[in-house]
Chains A and B, each alone.
Chain A
Amino acid sequence: MKKIEAIIKPFKLEEVKDALSQIGIEGMTVSEVKGFGRQKGHTEIYRGSEYKVDFLPKIKIEIVLPDARVESAVKAIVSSAKTGKIGDGKVFVSDVEEIIRIRTEEKGDDAI
């Protein structure tokens, strides 16, 4: 079992969600996050005052999948979230030791 964490541009969320549903992925956790990478922040100007805003709003999607489905899911995320410009985000894939479905107490792949 693997966990995919994808940091993407907020306006790409709908496209990414649609791409994932098309390959049959039924659940995900989405959060609004802030951060920066090479893109850095932007400048805001209010009358005479200039402020550099380092942290930009991003969306983080988390999905846990059986190993066999990870590659297609990553492909779907990357192709749907890509604009080709700096700041498109990143995808992290990591191992997950255990999953428990709270309602039924099923474990492992059955709980996904």
Chain B
Amino acid sequence: MKKPLFLFLLTASLAAGMTAAAAPAAQRAEPTLEQRVADLEAYVNNGSRGADTNTAVNSKLGSCDPKTNAFTPNPGPGPNAWQMISAALVLFMTLPGLTLFYGGLVRRKNVLSVMAQCLLLTGLVTILWYICGYSLVFHKGNSVLGNLGFAFFNHVDSSPNTDYSYWVSQNVFAIYQLMFAIITPALIIGAIAERMKFSAVFLFMTLWMFIVYFPQAHMVWGIDGLMNGVFNSDAKIHAIDFAGGTVVHMTSGWSALVLCLILGKRLGFGKENFSPHSMVLCMVGTGMLWVGWYGFNAGSAVASDVIAANAFTTTTLATAVASFVWPMAEWFFRGKPSVLGFCSGAVAGLVVITPACGFVTPGGAMLIGICAGLIPWFFCYKVKAWFGYDDALDTFGVHAVGGTIGALLTGILARNAANANLALNLKSFITDTPLQRLVIEQLKAIGITLALAIVGTTVIAYTVKAVMGLRPSEEVESIGLDLAEHEEEGYHG
């Protein structure tokens, strides 16, 4: 019964597709030698082939369907190579970078629970991304969410989607962006470590992807997104976010704060010793995060072009400066520079430069590094103690605070000299002065991101609490999540 119906629907939709595509079109002319050279130049300069924009001409760097006259661009080997490496680097940030960074900071009885949660998200988010996540973020739709044209990776093949890149295969682009969707919820785990049920993490994160991440990513990066100031000329808010200051760090950081407040403090908070069980693992993880972040930041150019080169440079400068400033602040105010201080400074530097890396000059990056070393440090040392919330591994202090000041500093420090794309739609907003109009647009984007993360997380957290509860029993929490929830131990003997 079901099968014939399905076949009928399939045939009907195919027929509908063919009639739509079979509209009469003039045959594309074969490119002249000059046009072919221009296509090669476009490849080197990361521009568009003639055939990408001109329906009258064909290109040797792609293929034309003789019936429909539709042009299918080929990917370029260079950009594809860089993007695949970048995707692997961003995965490396989560597995094992973040798992070691976080895993080292918890007590030994909970080290595997952090790892299990990161591994869960890698598989879970990949499945959601394939089903509809990629489509909701990167297909055209309305300004808040894409539609389902790319659901189940339909039409997502090795040919580039020229909305996002002329030379990177769309399937590579989709996998690259998947890695961002994996690490973002994984960052939240830091705030709720050692005290949330695995099943509750599962349900919370699934809902969170749909309610917070997919809309936020579409609004900022979708070609018709509400806040995509760089590429969407119709954007209501002319904000910019190069590699995810709002999409990744603000959403995860502010959601982490809300969730850790609703969840409550760990048993024995303030009385027992919660010191990290292995600063060595934490440091190893930090190094991997830093290395992987080059794929995250420079890879966000979706080309190995001049913008990627600048992002690579600014990322290095800001991170190195912050990793220096944070422990110096500790040394000055607390008497000793700590390894956790060096590590935290590096991560804070990476977070703060993330939205800015492709839009600022090296000088701007140095300034960002100093702010990244001092402001998150102040939040982790002072503000957390004043308010007494149990943000176990400082997801709020580093990612929410870092992401927010990063978004703001991007508004202040974005310069036309750093990125020619800024002139496309933002001429009147970026005047190369600290009080350019872009700052107001960035504040609007910060406001929307904050509202989405806080309201979304509050609703999801109370829903999950009502359905299954958030916390394990006190007994489970004191035994440790590794044994109780996974029946394994991180270390024997």
Quick one: given A45-B334, A46-B338, A46-B340, are A51 and B276 in contact (CB under 8 Å)? Answer: no
A49 to chain B: closest CB distance in Å? 7
Chain A residues 47 to 99 lying within 8 A of chain B, measured CB to CB, are 47-49, 51-53
User: How many angstroms between the C-alpha atoms of A46 and B391 in the bound complex?
Assistant: 13
User: Are B275 and A47 closer than 8 Å at their CB atoms?
Assistant: no
A20 to chain B: closest CB distance in Å? 29
Interface mask (B361-390 → A, CB under 8 Å = 1, otherwise 0): 000000000000000000011101100000
| Chain B interface helix/strand/loop/mixed | helix
User: How many angstroms between the C-alpha atoms of A108 and B341 in the bound complex?
Assistant: 57
User: Are B273 and A51 closer than 8 Å at their CB atoms?
Assistant: yes
A48 to chain B: closest CB distance in Å? 5
Closest A residue to B381 using CB positions: A48
B372 to chain A: closest CB distance in Å? 15
User: Are A47 and B340 closer than 8 Å at their CB atoms?
Assistant: yes
A64 to chain B: closest CB distance in Å? 28
Assess whether B344 is interfacial by the CB under 8 Å rule: yes
- How many B residues touch the partner, as a band? 10 to 19
User: Are B273 and A47 closer than 8 Å at their CB atoms?
Assistant: no
Chain A residues lying within 8 Å of B276, measured Cβ to Cβ, are 46
Chain B residues lying within 8 Å of A46, measured Cβ to Cβ, are 105, 275-276, 338, 340
Assess whether A44 is interfacial by the CB under 8 Å rule: yes
User: Are B344 and A51 closer than 8 Å at their CB atoms?
Assistant: no
User: Are A47 and B274 closer than 8 Å at their CB atoms?
Assistant: no
Interface mask (B413-450 → A, CB under 8 Å = 1, otherwise 0): 00000000000000000000000000000000000000
Chain B residues 61 to 112 lying within 8 A of chain A, measured CB to CB, are 105
Chain A residues lying within 8 Å of B381, measured Cβ to Cβ, are 47-48
B191 to chain A: closest CB distance in Å? 13
Chain A residues lying within 8 Å of B385, measured Cβ to Cβ, are 48
Chain B residues lying within 8 Å of A44, measured Cβ to Cβ, are 275
User: Are A47 and B334 closer than 8 Å at their CB atoms?
Assistant: no
Closest A residue to B334 using CB positions: A45
Chain B residues lying within 8 Å of A47, measured Cβ to Cβ, are 340-341, 344, 380-381, 384, 394, 397
B190 to chain A: closest CB distance in Å? 12
User: Are A48 and B274 closer than 8 Å at their CB atoms?
Assistant: no
User: Are B273 and A53 closer than 8 Å at their CB atoms?
Assistant: yes
Closest A residue to B376 using CB positions: A47
Chain B residues 380 to 410 lying within 8 A of chain A, measured CB to CB, are 380-382, 384-385, 394, 397
B115 to chain A: closest CB distance in Å? 20
Chain B residues lying within 8 Å of A48, measured Cβ to Cβ, are 380-382, 384-385
User: How many angstroms between the C-alpha atoms of A7 and B381 in the bound complex?
Assistant: 37
Question: Which residue, of B275, B340, B384, has the highest number of chain A Cβ atoms within 10 A?
Answer: B275
User: How many angstroms between the C-alpha atoms of A68 and B381 in the bound complex?
Assistant: 59
B66 to chain A: closest CB distance in Å? 64
Closest A residue to B382 using CB positions: A48
B336 to chain A: closest CB distance in Å? 8
User: How many angstroms between the C-alpha atoms of A52 and B334 in the bound complex?
Assistant: 16
User: How many angstroms between the C-alpha atoms of A47 and B394 in the bound complex?
Assistant: 9
User: How many angstroms between the C-alpha atoms of A46 and B382 in the bound complex?
Assistant: 13
Chain A residues lying within 8 Å of B275, measured Cβ to Cβ, are 44, 46, 49, 51, 53
Chain A residues lying within 8 Å of B344, measured Cβ to Cβ, are 47
User: Are A49 and B334 closer than 8 Å at their CB atoms?
Assistant: no
Chain B residues lying within 8 Å of A51, measured Cβ to Cβ, are 273-275
Question: Which residue, of B273, B340, B382, B385, has the highest number of chain A Cβ atoms within 10 A?
Answer: B273
User: Are B382 and A49 closer than 8 Å at their CB atoms?
Assistant: no
Interface mask (A23-55 → B, CB under 8 Å = 1, otherwise 0): 000000000000000000000111111011100
Chain B residues 95 to 133 lying within 8 A of chain A, measured CB to CB, are 105
Chain A residues lying within 8 Å of B394, measured Cβ to Cβ, are 47
B376 to chain A: closest CB distance in Å? 10
Chain B residues lying within 8 Å of A45, measured Cβ to Cβ, are 334, 336, 338
User: How many angstroms between the C-alpha atoms of A112 and B344 in the bound complex?
Assistant: 55
Closest A residue to B386 using CB positions: A48
Chain B residues 330 to 375 lying within 8 A of chain A, measured CB to CB, are 334, 336, 338, 340-341, 344
Chain A residues lying within 8 Å of B397, measured Cβ to Cβ, are 47
Chain B residues lying within 8 Å of A52, measured Cβ to Cβ, are 273
User: How many angstroms between the C-alpha atoms of A44 and B275 in the bound complex?
Assistant: 8
Chain A residues lying within 8 Å of B341, measured Cβ to Cβ, are 47
B392 to chain A: closest CB distance in Å? 10
> Footprint of B on A, CB under 8 Å?
44-49, 51-53
8 contacts between A and B (CB under 8 A): A47-B340, A47-B344, A47-B394, A48-B382, A48-B384, A51-B273, A51-B275, A53-B275
Closest 6 pairs between A and B when the two form their complex, measured CB to CB:
A47-B380, A48-B381, A51-B273, A48-B384, A51-B275, A48-B380
Known: A44-B275, A47-B340, A47-B384. 14 other contacts (CB 8 A): A45-B334, A46-B275, A46-B340, A47-B344, A47-B381, A48-B380, A48-B381, A48-B385, A49-B274, A49-B275, A51-B273, A51-B274, A52-B273, A53-B275
